[in-house]
Chain A
Amino acid sequence: MAQKQSSDQPSVQELIAKASNKKRKKIIEKLIPIILFLIASVSVLTTFGIIGTLITETVIFFSRIPVLDFIFGTEWFPFANTEPQYGILALIAGTLKVTFIAVIVAVPFGIGSAIFLSEYASDNVRRIIKPILEVLAGIPTIVYGFFALTFVTPLLQQIIPELKIFNALSPGIVVGIMILPMIASLSEDAMSAVPSSIREGALAMGSTKLEVALKVVLPAALSGIIASVVLAVSRAIGETMIVSLAGGSTPSFDLDVTGSIQTMTAYIVQVSSGDAGYGTTIYYSIYSVGFTLFLFTLVMNIIAHVISKKYREEY
């Protein structure tokens, strides 16, 4: 029984129109995307800020030190009173030594754990181990640095007596432990993404689990695994506190891992925590080193991106 609405009561439509205040709403709906876009552009501005500051300060540095001396020089003695030397190769050598040792530690253990977690472990075991790897990944690097200096170095000195207090070996191993969870969890993701039907096919043909893991899953997930290693290398190159605490501060262009070294990151920390005055060549040198470091990690990240995009096997 439809009762006719009395004319003095507003219709539902009018009520909605009244309550919703269309004009204000329209302005908000127009304004919000603009505000959000401005917020989103902060991240772009950050990148421009990083590149901009690094380049402008590096240009000032190169107006005082010849570019070629910087790129090809093998001596890094910025604090020398008479003839300071700025040869970045000495710092790069330190960085690469640490990175290389880290990769030797992290890749076998990381991929080994990834295979175990993805191919052998039961769900229960995985539920215990994965959070522990996350804890390992969440430990601040300063704690790792302290661990390298006060535990790993003395331990290594008992095996290699000629090892100095500051060396490349100990921070290298500890950086390896730091990037291990990253390789393990990213590789495990890549391997878990391989569909089970392929695994089951291989098992039905009589393969053992190991053969499935090494001959079927590993090749299928290879691009993801390599990308994870490249990303981890980029992390190792940019790692700062471990090498600052345990690596020392004597850059040297050689292959010795038992003696004191200095990495690019550790140099930046050394200069910043001392008091190199604003405007001195040493002050500008940290930007040139930072720029080199930035280029290294950028190239690594791009390589990782390309590998995981281009060579991914789709199922």
Chain B
Amino acid sequence: MNYVNHKSVIKRMNKRLIVNRVFKTIFFIATLFALVVLAVLFYRIITQGIGYITPDFFQNFGSRFPEKAGIKAALIGSIWLMCVVAPVSIILGVGTAIYLEEYAKKNKLNDFIRMNISNLAGVPSVVFGLLGLTIFVRALSLGNSILAAGFTMSLLILPVIIVAAQEAIRAVPQDVREASYGMGATKWQTITQIVLPSAIPGILTGAILALSRAVGETAPLVVIGIPVIIQFLPENLLSQFTALPMQIYDWAKRPQAEFQFVASAGILVLMAFLLIMNSIAIFIRNKFQRKY
């Protein structure tokens, strides 16, 4: 006697397999959507902006006339800004990570610090701008200077750097630490001479990715009142300045159609800046990462 009706099984199986294939295609198309958008975005910006990338574009300051507008002040300003954000955020971020991973005992206070960091990562950047405006620009009267913007940006990317550094430090195996203690090293010697050297590639990769977020971040700069049209280069950390995303924002807002192309050219410069930073991060990750 036949317990299984082969015909109906084959018929149902075929149907299920077809449904499977249809959905596989749907999911694949959903994945392609993101790639297509990315391609269109790059195509648009490159075709619009490439014509405006001339030596003059890098030598001119901002201007009301599209053909005279240049990115010099913004590019130099962004580099100055990074010179503040990088040391401040890396020292604070790595210090916090070392404390949490190597020293912090499990108690309420340290749990609170951990929870606080994950919450801080979810605060919108525009709110950090309000913090910077009140504390750095007004209360400490730094004005809309490189220092004020740099501190604000450092706090904004701090959670990202802390988490990256924590992961890098955690990846160093316990055995190595114990071997170091066994040789008579103190805790701090172990950290500076054993843990940090092998964690540094991971820390740097995370830090550079976080810094590249700070390069493109616009909202906090707008809120703390960074000016757009600046006809001079910053002289010191208390100078007024402008930055790449601010300049692009200003060009994008202007009604004249030519400024669209100038904005695209500005975006190309910004993207090139980010590309260089990310390449460095990937290079460090591939070259120096040690596997245990």
Q: Which residues of A contact B (CB under 8 A)?
A: 16, 25, 28-29, 32-33, 35-37, 39-44, 46-47, 49-50, 53-54, 57, 108-109, 112-113, 115-117, 120-121, 129, 132-133, 135-136, 138-143, 145-147, 149-151, 177, 180-181, 184, 208-211, 231, 234, 237-241, 244-245, 265, 268-269, 272-273, 278, 286-287, 290, 293-294, 297-298, 300-301, 305
Q: Interface on chain A toward B: helix, strand, loop, or mixed SS?
A: helix
Contact (Cβ within 8 A) B30 A140: no
Which residue of chain A lies nearest to B267 when distances are taken between CB atoms in the complex?
A143
Given contacts A53-B135, A273-B222, whether A120 and B117 have CB atoms under 8 Å apart is: no
Whether the pair B120, A120 counts as a contact (CB closer than 8 A) is no
Given contacts A132-B34, A272-B222, contact A50 B44 (CB under 8 A): no
Contacts of B35 in A (CB 8 A): 129, 132
Residues of B within 8 A of A238 (CB): 123-127
The docked-state distance in angstroms from the alpha carbon of A239 to that of B123 is 11
Residues of chain B contacted by A16 (CB below 8 angstroms): 184
List 12 extra interface pairs beyond A43-B159, A141-B218, A297-B122, CB under 8 A.
Answer: A25-B186, A36-B99, A39-B91, A43-B96, A46-B158, A113-B33, A132-B35, A141-B217, A210-B24, A269-B223, A273-B222, A301-B119
B16 contacts partner chain A, Cβ-Cβ < 8 Å: yes
Q: B217 to nearest A CB, angstroms?
A: 7
Chain B residues whose CB sits within 8 angstroms of the CB of A37 once the complex forms: 99, 103
Within the complex, the shortest CB–CB distance from A112 to chain B, in Å, comes to 3
Nearest CB of A to B255, in Å: 10
Return A221 CB to nearest CB of chain B, in Å. 15
Cα–Cα distance between A293 and B123 once the two chains are bound (Å): 9
CA distance A29 to B185 in the complex (A): 11
In Å, the complex CA distance between A177 and B33 comes to 9
Whole-angstrom CA separation of A138 from B253 in the bound complex: 22
Shortest Cβ distance from residue B193 to the other chain A in the assembled complex, whole angstroms: 13
Q: Does B95 contact A (CB under 8 A)?
A: yes
B46 within 8 Å of A (CB atoms): no
Which chain A residues border B99 with CB–CB below 8 Å? 33, 36-37, 39-40
A contact residues around B17 at 8 Å (CB): 208
Q: Chain A residues near B31 (CB, 8 Å)?
A: 112-113, 116-117, 121, 129
Q: Which stretch in B58-66, B168-176, B270-278 binds the other chain? A: B270-278
Min CB gap B151→A, angstroms: 10
Query: Is the CB–CB distance between A177 and B95 below 8 Å?
Result: no
Q: Could you list some 20 contacts between A and B, CB below 8 A?
A: A29-B187, A39-B92, A44-B112, A112-B26, A120-B28, A132-B34, A141-B219, A142-B249, A147-B44, A151-B44, A180-B33, A184-B34, A210-B20, A210-B24, A238-B123, A265-B124, A268-B130, A272-B133, A294-B124, A298-B119
Task: With CB as the reference atom, state the residue of chain B lying closest to A32.
Answer: B188
Q: How far is the CA of A149 from the CA of B248 in the complex (A)?
A: 13
B29-67, CB < 8 A from A: 29-31, 33-35, 37-38, 40-41, 44-45
| A151 to B48 Cα, complex, angstroms | 11
CB <8 Å contact, B92 and A177: no
Question: A39-B99, A135-B38 known; A120 and B24 CB under 8 Å?
Answer: yes
B280 on interface, CB distance cutoff 8 Å: no
By the criterion CB–CB under 8 Å, are B267 and A146 in contact?
yes
B interface residue numbers (CB < 8 A to A) = 16-17, 19-20, 23-24, 26-31, 33-35, 37-38, 40-41, 44-45, 91-92, 95-96, 98-100, 103-104, 112-113, 116-120, 122-131, 133-135, 138, 155, 158-159, 162, 184, 186-188, 209, 212-213, 215-219, 222-225, 245, 248-249, 252-253, 260, 263-264, 267, 270-271, 274, 278
A-B residue pairs, 6 tightest by C-beta: A140-B216, A238-B124, A112-B30, A39-B95, A116-B27, A36-B99
In the complex the two chains form, is A210's CB within 8 Å of B252's CB? no
Task: Name the distance in Å between A124's Cβ and chain B's nearest Cβ.
Answer: 14
Contact of B124 among A47, A142, A145, A237 (CB under 8 A): A237
Contact B116 A140 (CB under 8 A): no
Contacts of B134 in A (CB 8 A): 53, 57
Give the residues in chain A near B213, CB-CB below 8 Å: 138
Contact residue among A57, A120, A268 (Cβ-Cβ distance under 8 Å from B126): A268
The answer to whether A43 and B116 touch across the interface, beta carbons within 8 angstroms, is: yes
Q: Within 8 Å CB of A135, what residues of B?
A: 38
B122 touches A234 (CB 8 A): yes
Smallest CB separation, A167 vs chain B (Å): 16
- What residues on A are CB-neighbors of B19 within 8 Å? 208, 210
